[in-house]
Amino acid sequence: MDKQPSARVCFICGRENEQSLKAEYYTDNLNQQVVSETIIPSRFNGWPGHAHGGLVAALLDEAAFRAIWIDGDYTRSMVTMNLKIQLLRPTPTEQPLKTVGWVLEINETTAKTASEIRLLDGTVVARGVATLVKPPDSFLEMCGWEEEQPYFKVYED
């Protein structure tokens, strides 16, 4: 599996963000999926021992977004326009979870992707389907992407 780049400030994968989950994502070329194994700390509980739904949605969003890079084109920029989630059962904190994302449809300007969060026994706890769109160049300029780009890289373990 090929390790995907991470960002510096991202809430999910940011290497320098103290609140980040520091999740690492890998491209599974054989299954055409992006995968991550993550432990959600209890500070993100909604109910005791279970993750807040907003954090679950963020993990689904990240995997759905990263699916557009399965082909290795990390220069492809898209943003989530719509994310539909299903919370199938409580998502536990303080135990390993596997997040998986894959492409349903993709072209140069839009993508439809899907994602799941699974317990290590394969039980699906949450699902997402996302529509992503290519943002205008002005969006990337406004967000300071040019300054951030040097920090978007594969970080060694």
* Higher-scoring residue by pLDDT: 142, 108: 108
For residue 149, pLDDT over 90 is answered with no
pLDDT tens digits, 108-137: 999 999 999 999 999 999 999 999 999 998
Asked if residue 91 lies in contact with residue 51, where contact means CB atoms within 8 angstroms, the answer is yes
Task: Give the pLDDT score at 83.
Answer: 98
Residue 136 forms part of a structural domain: yes
Task: Give the pLDDT score at 144.
Answer: 80
Asked if residue 126 lies in contact with residue 87, where contact means CB atoms within 8 angstroms, the answer is yes
List b or e across 70-88, with b for residues whose CB sees 16 or more CB atoms inside 10 angstroms: beeeeeeebebeebebebe
Band of residue 148 on the pLDDT scale cut at 50, 70, 90: confident
Residue 144 forms part of a structural domain: yes
Nearest to 127 by CA among 119, 136, 118: 118
Residue 104 forms part of a structural domain: yes
pLDDT tens digits, 56-87: 999 999 999 999 999 999 999 999 999 999 99
Helix (H) or strand (E) holding 58, with range, is: helix 53-66
CA 57/CA 127 separation, integer angstroms: 9
Residue 38 forms part of a structural domain: yes
Task: Give the pLDDT score at 151.
Answer: 82
Looking at residue 143, which CATH number applies to its domain?
3.10.129.10
| Domain of 43, in residue numbers | 2-148
For residue 54, pLDDT over 80 is answered with yes
* Higher-scoring residue by pLDDT: 155, 28: 28
pLDDT tens digits, 29-40: 999 999 999 999
What is the number of structural domains in the chain? 1
Residue 154 forms part of a structural domain: no
Task: Give the pLDDT score at 155.
Answer: 85
Task: Give the pLDDT score at 147.
Answer: 82
CA 110/CA 65 separation, integer angstroms: 11
